[in-house]
Structure 1
Amino acid sequence: MEPTKTDFKKTLDAYRAKHNEFRIVDVPPTQYLMLDGHGDPNSSSQFADALEVMYPMAYKLKFASRQQLGRDYVVMPLEGQWWSADMEAFTAARDKSRWDWTLMMMVPEWITEEMFDAARAAVAAGGAPASLDRVRLETLTEGRCVQTLHIGSYDDEAEILERLHYEFIPGAGLAMRGKHHEIYLSDARRVEPARLRTILRQPVE
């Protein structure tokens, strides 16, 4: 019998958000594939190299989970943490050349370091991507966050981020902490910019 396939986007509250609605959510510790880099994602070779690693690793782990554990799941969307020495780079300036980032893909908590090491070896056997040795398995604890759903181009996020950072968060008696987090629910290779759906998340205290 085929194992039941879990879609965590539908079962986890942290992957729910509505357009033009800011919501406070408590995000539990979550395990991810992670890879760090710097620079404009539209032109950075580091970013392109990271994409070449994340998807093969994610699918190797999915297949290993299904074959070894009988636990199948939908591969999760790409995510990213973004930050800069000057946070105005995200709102007013949008100077992407100054951005640091960590690309991420959520994997279930039952994925072990042993399974991760085996997946990396399998990807390497097929021709190792340039950044394969830099990908890691790590649990991120974000805790209390505010998030919303942005519909449209990534370059049009500035207005809603300004409302999030300077209106809703201080108005709720909260303060920003940690790193800006984006969850890319749409595949930018297949969806026109005006229809892209992205969860924007900001940890708070």
Structure 2
Amino acid sequence: MPPTLRSAAVATAAAAALLSPLAAAPAALADGPNTPPEVRSEIQALPWPALARGDSGAVVQAANELLQSYGYLPEQGLGNIFFDEYMEEAVRAYQDDRDIPVDGRIGDETWSHIRMDFGVVGPGNGDRDKVTAVQALLDHNGHSVIADGIYGASTEKAVIAFQEENSIDADGIVGPITFRALVTGGV
């Protein structure tokens, strides 16, 4: 390859890497690389909330949004805060597909799978259900954001503030540690 074409190819590759940091290395960016190990351990030890039919609130809404994202519930619009019979059926199907004991409740093992399936969510993420789940959890934790499914500047700012409050290396990206802290109420 001629030097000018090689230089152009290298420049194009470098620009693509800079423009899509989440696609390039999401695991390395999630929850900041400098989160102290003791903070990670403390957050990992926080108990998951137990959810069952009849429950309601922001954590139920977040679980509902995630079950929509994973294809277990039809789109219901924003803000379903009730753990109803349809959500119970969706949880049972989700549990069955992952070889989790099927009981229709969201407990430790189900939350662990939900978190694994969540992956990493940050600025520009196009999964409106996952972003709405993050926004509902942020609001539940005292960070007022509009639950619109768009991970814009206000959502990123709220994630950073939440991470700072919980001694998570603040990068504005919701990875496994930030997700657990959001669901459990943080430290």
TM-score bracket, shorter-length normalisation: under 0.3
TM-score (norm 1): 0.24
Of Structure 1 and Structure 2, the greater strand share is in: 1
Of Structure 1 and Structure 2, the greater helix share is in: 2
Q: Highest Rg: 1 or 2? A: 2
